[in-house]
Structure 1
Amino acid sequence: MSRLEHRVHELTVGQLAERSGVAVSALHFYEAKGLISSRRTAGNQRRFTRDTLRRVAFIKVSQRVGIPLADIRAALATLPDERTPTVADWARLSESWRGELDARIAQLERLRDDLTDCIGCGCLSMSRCALANPYDELGDTGPGPRRLLTARKEAAGTAAPVPDAARACAASGEC
């Protein structure tokens, strides 16, 4: 990989792809979705300002932690077009997602810790399921693995109540 000359202020799509590690087709997609922008030369070639590298890195990292593209686009829309975003700009964006990222981390920890236990999916095939989810009571609260999804839904304020038997089982740890 070649380094970018420090004097270069605008990048071709190929240079941007090489330096960012993102395929040209993905860059075109990002541009079509309004995540990044370019200007066109007289020969109709794209030229990206150098700070687009930071924006593409931000998109890649945000996607990797599960932030939807619509949220990424909304966040990037708050950044100034006329100047390179500052450290404060980037800190503000990342801070706005802290709660959501903390909830995702907690969900991943529950997944790691509870996947070998009853997760409230309704299978009732494990010996502990009859205690943690008797008669598949958690099925009344919605589809899927209710014990793994509940905390995330509660954070959003849309959780259905957990049946008393499941709550007692989880609290006692004797499921």
Structure 2
Amino acid sequence: MRASDRLSIGELARRTGLAVSAIRYYEAEGLLTAERNAGGQRRFLRSDIRRLSFILIAQQFGFTLEKIREQLQSLPLERTPTKADWTKISRSFRNELDTRIESLTRLRDNLDGCIGCGCLSLRKCALYNPQDSARVHGSGPRYLMGDDPPKTTG
């Protein structure tokens, strides 16, 4: 590989819009790897532009750095990732995003009924949980997570 195929950290920052400190942070987190030239300066592959873009997008979708790192480990370091490489990663993220969308939709739909008063004490409210009966399903906001509240009469 020619030296001209590598980017300095400053060039990578200009191409991605990231601060140099952010690139160093992602490198320290193991999300990308730099080689050092004879003068000790970092040199990155051009494919790191896409890696960093992927990191930024994945973070916007709410994925943790651990999850992003896990996905990036499946990409080859010695070459630019192919469409097939990215498709494999996107399938995994798509499944997780679909689950989140379903959860957010359920949350939105259940909140509609109580936004008017905000008291959370009406029996007709989808969030109502008398005597903490939802605890049998586990921790967290069980009805918003998809558990069905008990049927009430009246």
Shorter-chain TM-score tier: 0.7 to 0.9
State the shift of 1:95 in Å: 0.8
8 A Cα contact 2:126 2:143, kept in partner: no
| TM-score normalized with structure 2 length | 0.81
Q: Report the alpha carbon displacement of residue 72 of structure 1 after superposing the two structures with TM.
A: 1.2
Structure having the larger proportion of residues in helix: 1
Unaligned segments of structure 2, at least 5 residues: none
| Distance of 2:107 and 2:143 partners within structure 1 | 10
Measured after TM superposition, the shift of residue 45 of structure 1 is 1.0
Secondary structure of 1:89's aligned partner? helix
Q: Verify: 1:42 aligned to 2:38, yes or no.
A: yes
CA contact (8 A) 1:79 1:85 kept: yes
Q: State the shift of 1:125 in Å.
A: 2.6
Give distance in 1, aligned partners of 2:79 and 2:18: 23
Instruction: Name 2:104's counterpart in structure 1.
Output: 108
Normalising by structure 1, we get a TM-score of 0.72
Moved more, 108-117 or 93-102: 108-117
Structure 2 equivalent of residue 28 of structure 1: 24
Change (3 A) 1:131 1:83: closer
Aligned CA RMSD, in angstroms, stands at 2.6
Deviation string 1:79-107 (CA, Å, 9 cap, x unpaired) is 11221100010001111222211101111
2:52 is equivalent to residue 52 of structure 1: no
Q: Is 2:68 aligned against 1:72?
A: yes
Moved over 4 A (4+): none
Which residue of 1 is the match for residue 7 of structure 2? 11
| Unaligned stretches of 5+ residues in structure 1 | 1-7, 152-161
Distance 1:130 1:58 in 2: 38
CA distance in 1, matches of 2:127, 2:67: 40
